[in-house]
Structure 1
Amino acid sequence: MNLEKRKRELAQEFSPLLEKTTKTSKIWIGFLIAVILVGVYAFFVQLFKGHIVTGMRDNVVWGIYIINFIFFVCLSYSGAFISGVLHFFKTPWKNSVSRIVEIITVLSLIIGPIFILLCIGRLDRLHYLFMYPRIQSPITWDIIAIMTDLIGCFIYLYLTFIPDFAILRDNSENASKWRQKVYKYLAIGYQDTPTQREKLHKITRTMSAMVIALAIVAYSVLAWIFSLTLQPGWNSSIFAPYFIIAGLYSGIGVIIIAMYLIRKYYNLEHYIRKVHFIGAGIVLLIISLLFGYFTFSEYFSRWFSHKISDANLLNTLFTRYFWMFIFANYIGVLVPLVILFFKKLRTIKSITFAAVIAVIGLWFNRYLIVVPTLETPYLPIQDTREEFIHYTATWIEWALSFAGVAAFILFFILIMKLVPVIPMSGIIDNEREQNKSKKTFKKIITE
């Protein structure tokens, strides 16, 4: 295989995706920017008027901000875990999905913590959290875990980008000058020599193992923030593994949805094939079984204990939040289970539909963990007005939530405009391994 010729062919193949923007893409980007601008306006309204413009009150001190935080951080940790496993065990079909997973991981770690800042009533005192942290506080350890995981995942993502930056640097004569300068700077002198390639693979493999450990530890710390309290609905010994399984459940679902959209709108059917959807669907099936088991164990133990506080919580779930409870814990688990269990139903569209149901159900599950629990405290507060007891999100909260999702999608699109979503270096590595296998096979036959 002529290595330089193959690199040039791949650069020419992917350059239209990087340099050209269709009219549909421009409209979509404009829409996302508009959503973000509405969110910015909502942020300033909340900043100047305070949390009175939100639905959070004395009972429910956390709303959909904290739910979005948990969801995004959950997504990032699952992405880090999946990406680490793909690289560490050298999964055969990792090349088509690894970069999608890595980008999702880093962006989720950036977007997620922003929702925590929206929960803070006095942002002008934010720096005290870093100047005078309480080492006994699980929130302090959660911040340490998030920052450590963000740095580790960012380095890991950059390491996987370096070979592609080098390919684009050497084969972008027709690209704009700013692109050439960016690729040259980010490639940091990488020449793809055997020595450099071996060192980079070793470092990436080591980082993948570290990322797996960071993902498990960091998300366990987040779960302990809830489970180490005496609050009904949170005080549980299985919250850490339950959160990890839920994170993997949502992570696999979002990855499948991203694969479907990227495959369809960027015409990458040759690289993202049906076998990848089937593989991801089987993983989602296994995780749905585990998630369903943990969910059943969590609610059954509370129902069977007959504690007054747990009974009040279950009564709230089965009355005020009945349909959300049904969707989160029945439809969100059983529908993906049924679709993915039968081989005939495992088409690309049906697997993607199952992933959408799973992700929506998981978000509702996070909502049911936070809001109903805060609405049923041990002791009722003095002010019993409806808006102080029950929580309803305002347009401010929804605007900022949708702005976060829009920012996530926009940054994803912009990254895909900088580097191919299918790693070119991975394609070359696969072809190199196939050539070695063919030569070895021929040698064995000859002997």
Structure 2
Amino acid sequence: MIWARGRLSFIYREAKPMSDQVSRFKPAEGKDVIIPEDVRDQLLLTTESDDELNEHMLGPMKKTGPVFWISLAILGAIFFWGLYAWAYQIRWGFGVAGINRPVYWGMYISTFVFWVGISHAGTMISAVLRVFKADWRRPITRGAEAMTAFALMMAGLFPLIHVGRIWKVYWMIPYPNNRYLWPNFQSPLMWDMVAITTYLVGSSLYLYLALIPDLGMARDKSAGWRYQLYRGLALGWRGTEPGWHKLEKALGIFAIVIIPIFLSVHSIVSWDFAVTVQPRWHSTILPIFFIIGAVFSGLSALASILVLVRWGMKLQFFIRKEHLNNIGLLVMVAGLSWVYVWFAGLIVEWYGNMPVVKELLYDEWYGDLAPFFWTMMVCNVLPVILLMFKRARTNPALLLLLTLMVNVGMFIERFLIVAGNLTRNYLPFNWGDYRPTWVS
């Protein structure tokens, strides 16, 4: 609840539409009320009416500019190029993607792990900040929740590409059949399917519940087929007090439930590697390393999205430098945690003095993988150092650059974990190299 002197309204800002998270500033007649600009920004004071704010929020949904169409054309071209590459791989086999002995998990599984990590931070930050009642979270939670849902959809594509014969993927579904085929639940592939499906359903429901008030607002401001669409999705929402109470209760329950799901899902993804005897994979630190890496990359992706949305949709009034500063602090803390866990794992490997592990470390530091490794270190460590300064955290352009660097570094880290470590094993005659191709 927010208050201010004069003829000001006070409203609850808990999970309401973004246009309702403001106070209308109307000084009493005959009185001059002077409020410093920083206080006005802190209290989200505005003289705009509800209708004006609603139109401001719904504007990007009704009008599209040249930037939208150019972006759509570029992304569409990339999508169709990917479809062509996938069809080419199905026709000629996995060899065209560079996958061969001993590296059977290449770019596809690396990308899968990366997107799962991106997805995890979105709902996690929304749920954790909701549980701890951090008021500053509200303008960023919608982007975080939407990022989770779409990143999970992206992640789910890559195991399907990796299995090769996509038309046989229904064999993974446990259903009675005449051939008595049944999924092997000891397979990590099945663990991933269950984990991704569970997290996608939970995150989508969490996003949808929080969207209901905004869908009601969009319904009231729309006509034609859009009105019918939003009318069905809003579930008869009218913004009554009992409605808000039930919605808050449901969101609170989902927030508590989604946190352990987040921890368990990325632990399951790490077990794809940790339950094997592959050097540098068979380690108990891997689940923690994956979770912290997921938070690091996910928070960085969220910060990038906030800066782009703030600029593209002109939402500077709602997404302020205060929010950029806070998300920058979270990225910095996650980055410091990643550096600590990475160094802790390195110390154990170094003093273990296993020949195959030393060979992998040498290859990363001085060999064929050295350009990737040192690029990863620069992209992951330099932003953490710069984000210690408030000027870097509150500069939108610099924050965007630093968080994009983090995700470049984290993608390389996933590639080194998956494909890089598979190039060496306990049998030297089975060593090899991996080179991604245009297909992968």
TM-score interval for Structure 1 and Structure 2 normalised by the shorter chain: 0.7 to 0.9
**1:66 maps to 2:109:** yes
- Report the secondary structure of 1:366's partner residue: helix
**Equivalent residue number for residue 150 of structure 2:** 107
Q: Contact 2:122–2:144 (CA<8 Å) still a contact in 1?
A: yes
- Report the secondary structure of 1:127's partner residue: helix
CA distance in 1, matches of 2:118, 2:109: 14
Would you tell me which structure has more helix in proportion to its own residues? 1
Query: What is the CA deviation profile of residues 103-155 of structure 1, one whole-angstrom value per residue up to 9, with x for unaligned ones?
Result: 11000111101011111122232122223222323332221111111111111
**Equivalent residue number for residue 218 of structure 2:** 168
- Report the secondary structure of 2:135's partner residue: coil
Q: Which structure is richer in relative contact order (CA contacts within 8 A, separation 6 or more)?
A: 1
Q: Contact 1:253–1:356 (CA<8 Å) still a contact in 2?
A: yes
Q: Contact 1:7–1:167 (CA<8 Å) still a contact in 2?
A: no
> CA RMSD for the aligned pairs?
1.9
Query: What is the CA deviation profile of residues 35-87 of structure 1, one whole-angstrom value per residue up to 9, with x for unaligned ones?
Result: 11111111111122221221100211011111110000111112221121122
In the alignment, structure 1 segments of 5+ residues that lack a partner are 398-447
**1:149 maps to 2:174:** no
Instruction: Say if 1:128 and 1:279 are closer, same or farther in 2 by CA, change over 3 A.
Output: same
Query: What is the CA deviation profile of residues 15-36 of structure 1, one whole-angstrom value per residue up to 9, with x for unaligned ones?
Result: 3211111122112111211111
Residue 99 of structure 1, CA deviation: 0.7
Specify which of 214, 220, 226 is matched with residue 179 of structure 1: 226
**Equivalent residue number for residue 51 of structure 1:** 94
Specify which of 350, 355, 360 is matched with residue 398 of structure 2: 350
**Equivalent residue number for residue 328 of structure 2:** 281
Query: What is the CA deviation profile of residues 366-396 of structure 1, one whole-angstrom value per residue up to 9, with x for unaligned ones?
Result: 11111121100222456x8xxxx21111111
Query: What is the CA deviation profile of residues 81-102 of structure 1, one whole-angstrom value per residue up to 9, with x for unaligned ones?
Result: 1121122223212221111101
**Equivalent residue number for residue 334 of structure 1:** 381
Give, as a single letter, the amino acid of the residue that structure 1 aligns with 2:399: I
**Equivalent residue number for residue 369 of structure 1:** 417
Percent identity, aligned pairs only, is 30
Q: Contact 1:339–1:350 (CA<8 Å) still a contact in 2?
A: no
Specify which of 190, 200, 213 is matched with residue 260 of structure 2: 213
Query: What is the CA deviation profile of residues 170-227 of structure 1, one whole-angstrom value per residue up to 9, with x for unaligned ones?
Result: 222xx4x111111111011111110011001100111011111110011111111111
Specify which of 110, 116, 123 is matched with residue 80 of structure 1: 123
Specify which of 282, 293, 301 is matched with residue 254 of structure 1: 301
Instruction: Say if 1:113 and 1:247 are closer, same or farther in 2 by CA, change over 3 A.
Output: same
- Report the secondary structure of 2:287's partner residue: helix
Note the 1:28-43 alignment, pairs <5 A. Answer: 28-43=71-86
Q: Contact 1:59–1:381 (CA<8 Å) still a contact in 2?
A: no
TM-score, normalisation: structure 1: 0.83
Give, as a single letter, the amino acid of the residue that structure 1 aligns with 2:126: S
* Length, aligned pairs only: 388
Give, as a single letter, the amino acid of the residue that structure 2 aligns with 1:351: L
**Equivalent residue number for residue 158 of structure 1:** 208
- Report the secondary structure of 1:61's partner residue: coil
**Equivalent residue number for residue 179 of structure 2:** none
In the alignment, structure 2 segments of 5+ residues that lack a partner are 1-8, 12-19, 21-47, 175-181
